[in-house]
Structure 1
Amino acid sequence: MKVLFIGGTGNISTASSRLAIKKGIDLYHLNRGNATVPIAGVRNILGDIRKANEVTELAKHDWDVVVNWIAFTPEDIERDIALFKGKTKQYIFIGSASCYQTPLSYPVITESTPLCNNLWDYSFNKIQCEDRLQKAYREEGFPMVIVRPSLTYDTVIPIAIGGFNEYTTADRILKGKEIIIHGDGTSLWTVTHSDDFAKGFVGLLGLTQAIGHAFHITSDEILSWNMIYGILAESLGHEAHVVHIASEFICAIEPSFTGTLLADKAESVIFDNTKIKTFVPEFKATIPFATGIKRTLQWLDENPENKFINPESNEKIDRILEKYTSKKA
C-alpha cells in the first residue's frame, strides 16, 4: 500500500509514521526538509504543499492513501481536492475533537455529536474543512475520511495552561511557584498517547469501509484535571501549588486562553470510542497517563532544547493570579 503523509513527523503523526512502516506500508512524507525526527524506511519528497511549484513531484504518483496532517483552512482543502481527485483511493483529513458542540448538551461524545464551535477560529475553520469534504464526497465521490484527535501527546505536555509546546507550568512546579487549574479541577477529560492513537489511525489506512465516515480516536481513561496536573507533578517529583480559578475569570483577564478553555477544556467530556473499535477491532489504548507522561518528561530531559519556558505565558499566569488574589482580598 502506497501512502503519502503531508507532514508526518509531528507530535501526533510521528508514532503513526513509525507504526505504518512497521506494518510494511510504503510510506512517503512530503515536507520542507526541516524534520528533526528521522524515521527509517520513509521515502521523503521535498516540498511545501502550500507552494504549487514545489509539489510537481506529486503529480507523478497515484496513491492508495493521502493523509494531510497540516490542513487547517477551507483553502487547504480546496487545494487538496484539486491535487488528489482521481489520484488517491482514500484521503484522510485530520480534524479536531474541539469541533464538537460547545457547550455540550450531552457529555458523552459520539461521532454524531453536532459540530458547532464558534468560540475558537481553529475549531471553526476545521468545521468548515469538514463541510467542504462532505460536499466533495456527496457530489463528486471524493474518497474522504475524517479523523478527530483530542489532546494527544508524545513530545508535549497535555495540560490547559502553560503546557503543550511549552514547559512553562512544569518549570513552575519544579520551582515551587503557583500554577493555575481552571475551574475546581473536577471536570473530566481524556488525554491520549500518540502511540495509542496510531493503533486506531493506521488501522484506517486503506480501509474502504471507512470512506465517507468520521472517527475520533482517544483513550478510554477518564481523568479529572486535578488528577492530570497531580500526575504531572508527581512525575516531576514535586508538589504542585495549585490555585483553582474559574475559566470565565481566566479568560476575562487573558482572552488568549478563550480557545483552549471556554472553547475546549472548560467542561467535562467523555468520548465513546465504539465506532473506531468497530472499524478497527485491534484498536485498544493501553498507555495510562501516569506512564505516558513519564515517557514525555524523559524525552524532554534528553532533548532539553525543547523545554521552552515562555516568558509571556509566565507573565499571563502571574497577572491572573495577582488579579484573582486581589479580588479575593
Structure 2
Amino acid sequence: MKVLFIGGTGLISEASSKLVVEQGHELYLFNRGKRSEWVPDGAHLIQGDIRDLAASAETLMGYAFDVVVDWIAFTPEHARTDIELFRDNTKQYIYISSASAYQKPLQHYIVTEETPLSNPYWQYSRDKIASEELLMEAYRNSGFPVTIVRPSFTYGDTMIPASLNSWNHPWSLIDRIRRGQKIIVHGDGTSLWTMTHNTDFAKGFVGLLGNTAAIGEAFHITSDEVLSWNQIYAAIGAAAGVEPILVPISSDFLISFSTDYKGGLLGDKAVSAVFDNSKIKRFVPEYRATLPFAEGIKRTVASFEKRPEICTVDPEWNDHIDQILAAYESAKPKHIPIKFGSL
C-alpha cells in the first residue's frame, strides 16, 4: 500500500512508521522535518506544515494514497482541514483520537467502543470527541472513509510514563527516584490503569491499514495487562534500580494546588479503566500485546541511558513537586497526644 502519515515521528507513531516499512508498504511522512532521527529507513519525507491548508494542498498535489493517517489532529478545525485535503485522494483516512474521550466518570470500569464519549473535565478530550463527530458525519453524509483509533497511555523509548512527570524532561522522574526523593501518586495508588508499549500498539494499528471493514468504525488499542498505579510506580522504580518513596495525595488536593491537573487526573488517569480489546482482535485477529510493563519500562530506561543527551532534568518541575509535598504536609491534621490522668 501507499501510506501517508501526517506526523509519524512522535511517541506513539514512530513504532507504527517502522512497522509499516518493515511490512513492505510505501510510507510517506508529511511533517516539518524536526525529528528526522525517527524517520525509518525506506520512508519518504515530505516537508510541510499541515496547519497551512493552502500550502499543504499545493505540496500534496498529484499524490494519491491508499491510506492517510493524521497523528497530530487535535481539534475539529484540524479534522475539517483533513476532510478538505483528502476527501478525493485516499481510500481510507484514520483519525487518531484518544481513550480519554470515553465517559468520565465511567458507569462501568470495563471500557468498550460502545462506552459513551463524554469528558466534562478536559478540553483536549472534548475536542477529540467533536472531531470524531465531524468525521463520522462526513462518513454518513458523503462516504468519507474514516476509521477512528483511540490510544490510551502509550509509551516508548522517549517517555517515562507516569501520572505526574515533566513532559519535556521525562527523565526527571527517574532522577528523582534515584536521588531518594519522594514521588507523588494520585489517590491512594490503587485505581486501575493500562500501559501500552508503542510496539504493541503498532501491531494492532498497522493491521487496520487498508482494512475496508474498519471504515466507519472506532477502535481502542491497548494492552490487556491491568495494573494499579502503585504497581506502575513500583515497576518504574525497579527499572531505575531504586524502590520509590511514594506519597499518596488525593486528586482533589492536587487540583486545588494546580488546576492544570484537572484534565489529566479527573479527565483521565484518576479513573480506573480496563479496556476490552475484543473489537480490535476481531478486525485484526493476530493482534496481541505481548510486552508487560515491567519489561517495557526497563527497555525505556535503558534507551534513555544509551542517550545521555536526553537524560535531562527539569528543575522547575522538581520545585513544583516539592511545593506540593510541602503544602500537603502542612495541611495534614496534626496529631495531638492525650495526656492521661489530667482529667
Structure-2-length-normalised TM-score: 0.94
Shift of 1:113: 0.3
Shift of 1:6: 0.3
Secondary structure, counterpart of 1:89 in structure 2: strand
Which residue of structure 2 lines up, in the alignment, with residue 327 of structure 1? 331
Which residue of structure 2 lines up, in the alignment, with residue 121 of structure 1? 123
CA distance in 2, matches of 1:9, 1:204: 19
1:157 matched to 2:154:
no
Secondary structure, counterpart of 1:204 in structure 2: coil
AA matched with 2:118:
C
Q: Does the 8 Å contact 2:166/2:314 carry over to 1?
A: no
1:217 matched to 2:221:
yes
CA distance in 2, matches of 1:278, 1:86: 29
Q: Does the 8 Å contact 2:33/2:47 carry over to 1?
A: yes
Shift of 1:279: 0.1
Q: Which of the numbers 263, 271, 276 marks the counterpart of 1:272? A: 276
Shift of 1:163: 5.0
Q: Which moved more, 1:116-125 or 1:53-62?
A: 53-62
Which residue of structure 2 lines up, in the alignment, with residue 9 of structure 1? 9
Shift of 1:167: 2.0
Shift of 1:53: 4.3
Q: Which runs of 4+ in 1 moved over 6 A?
A: none
Secondary structure, counterpart of 1:259 in structure 2: helix
CA distance in 2, matches of 1:207, 1:195: 20
CA distance in 1, matches of 2:205, 2:228: 26
CA distance in 2, matches of 1:173, 1:213: 42
AA matched with 1:160:
S
Q: Which of the numbers 53, 60, 63 marks the counterpart of 1:61? A: 63
Q: Which of the numbers 144, 147, 157 marks the counterpart of 1:145? A: 147
Number of residues of Structure 1 aligned to a counterpart in Structure 2: 329
1:212-252, CA deviations, whole angstroms, 9 ceiling, x for partnerless residues? Answer: 00000000000000000001001101121111011111111
1:153-190, CA deviations, whole angstroms, 9 ceiling, x for partnerless residues? Answer: 00201110015542222211011001100111111100
Q: Does the 8 Å contact 1:158/1:164 carry over to 2?
A: no
CA distance in 2, matches of 1:158, 1:179: 13
CA distance in 2, matches of 1:214, 1:140: 18
Which residue of structure 2 lines up, in the alignment, with residue 198 of structure 1? 202
Shift of 1:147: 0.2
Secondary structure, counterpart of 1:255 in structure 2: coil
CA distance in 1, matches of 2:321, 2:101: 26
1:227 matched to 2:231:
yes
1:236 matched to 2:240:
yes
CA distance in 1, matches of 2:41, 2:187: 44
Shift of 1:86: 1.2
Which residue of structure 1 lines up, in the alignment, with residue 181 of structure 2? 177
Shift of 1:102: 0.5
Secondary structure, counterpart of 1:294 in structure 2: helix
Shift of 1:52: 3.0
Which residue of structure 1 lines up, in the alignment, with residue 136 of structure 2? 134
AA matched with 2:8:
G
Q: Does the 8 Å contact 1:156/1:163 carry over to 2?
A: no
Q: Does the 8 Å contact 2:101/2:128 carry over to 1?
A: yes
Q: Which of the numbers 301, 306, 309 marks the counterpart of 1:305? A: 309
Q: Does the 8 Å contact 1:254/1:320 carry over to 2?
A: no
AA matched with 1:236:
A
Which residue of structure 2 lines up, in the alignment, with residue 40 of structure 1? 41
AA matched with 1:109:
V
> Identity of paired residues, percent?
54
CA distance in 1, matches of 2:151, 2:309: 26
| Structure 2 unaligned spans of 5+ | 335-343
CA distance in 2, matches of 1:43, 1:307: 30
Q: Does the 8 Å contact 1:152/1:193 carry over to 2?
A: yes
1:292-328, CA deviations, whole angstroms, 9 ceiling, x for partnerless residues? Answer: 1111111111222223422232222111111110111
CA distance in 2, matches of 1:124, 1:197: 23
